[in-house]
Amino acid sequence: MTNEQTAHTEEQVAAIAPTHHRLRVGITHGDINGVGYELIFRTFAAPEMADLCTPIVFGSAKVAHYHRKALGLDTPFQVVATAADALEGQLNLIDCATDDVSVQFGQCSAEAGHMAYVALEAATEALKAGDIDVLVTAPICKSAIQSADFRFVGHTEYLADRLAPDSQPLMMLCNAQLRVALVTTHLPLRDVPAAITTESVEQHIRQVYHSLRHDFLVPAPRIAVLGLNPHNGDNGTLGSEEADIIRPAIQAAVEDGIQCFGPYPADGFFGAGLYGEFDAVLAMYHDQALAPFKALSMDDGVNFTAGLPYVRTSPDHGTAFDIAGRGIASEASFRRAIYDAIDICRNRRADDDARRNPLPKLYHERREDGLRVQRQPLPPLS
């Protein structure tokens, strides 16, 4: 083989060889009076974590040093000016919350809330600019962070406003055995029934379907939908939302080829372990989903914000003020949030690559699941 032929072959190989780099995982420090830094330091005390990604904490170097000393941890980190300066194989920290503030473990304070907001804002800007690939948020105190700059009931609503104002974000809780999504999120219980409409339920079914296919690479998702009232309304005795609102939404999704089932009464559904038969469960309101999910998955549950053009995850617990500063917090959920952010980012890229030049497909109708028609999958949401 001539040198020219060899060079040409090497160029061809370079063109088709996949390029690998550690994903840049942006991490917010959350409420500085909570367990955020403990989770971060415990997670990255394991050297193999830095082999999976390049972690970049948006926070305060002074606060980080204080937490590390108070907790007796020795996880090293380096302060960098920007995400571009982050070094692979190390825990990096961008000192974006530089105000002098005292750490008061377990206390809810406006100062700590402001520090959480500054870090979140800086990380969000980095995510939009492409300086980080994914975002993992440590827990915040929702009352402490409220200010003229932050008037949201949680991360989900803030990120939707900052990253994709026209989007409809979907709150999804995940672990290896269970995924649950919500039609309504941080909404007072008295306001939930009015927010449950056929249109909103159907829209969320479709969002769950597309997230399962795009974010988790589930080829033919099976989705369970829960009812709103006790015992599914007991044939109208306890309410008619199941028959009048939820069931028509399920039927509309089924007619478009989505394998969607229900509505199921929530207590019997989780009590009998039926969630194991489905790829995801769509609940009507916050505690209907999170109470059983946390009972089943407190140590490894992850909060994932689907429906955004960016990947964001967080542990499924709060600031844990009751144990902050005691050195007993479990980092399992936080570590899982990092794993899931990496996996979802890679899944999205793989799915985009697979769909970039699709071949025409032939579909043959066949009846499944009680005479339902298996149809061509729906196109991605626009």
Which residue from 373, 187, 246, 216 is spatially nearest to 306, judged by alpha carbons? 216
CA triplet 105, 108, 112: central angle to 5 degrees?
80
Q: For residue 145, what pLDDT is reported?
A: 94
Read off the pLDDT of residues 304-322 as tens digits, 9 standing for 90 and up: 999 999 999 999 999 999 9
Predicted local confidence at residue 150, as pLDDT: 92
* Cα distances (Å, whole numbers) of residue 111 to 32, 145, 156: 9, 9, 22
Residue with tokens 């626009």, as numbered in its chain: 382
pLDDT of residue 19: 41
Query: What pLDDT, on a 0 to 100 scale, did the predictor assign at position 100?
Result: 83
Residues of the chain where predicted confidence (pLDDT) is lower than 50: 1-20, 367-371, 373-382
For residue 205, give the amino acid letter: I
**Integer angstrom CA distances of residue 311 from 118, 170, 294, 376:** 20, 12, 22, 27
pLDDT for the residue 255: 96
Model pLDDT, residue 176 = 86
Distance from C-alpha of 190 to C-alpha of 365, rounded to nearest angstrom:
44
Q: Which amino acid is at 193?
A: P
Name the pTM for this structure: 0.85
The string of pLDDT tens digits covering residues 208-245 is 999 999 999 999 999 999 999 999 988 888 889 999 99
Establish whether the linkage from the previous residue to 263 is cis, with ω within 30° of 0: yes
Pairing verdict, β 92-95 and 78-80 = parallel
DSSP state of 23: E
Q: What pLDDT does 298 receive?
A: 67
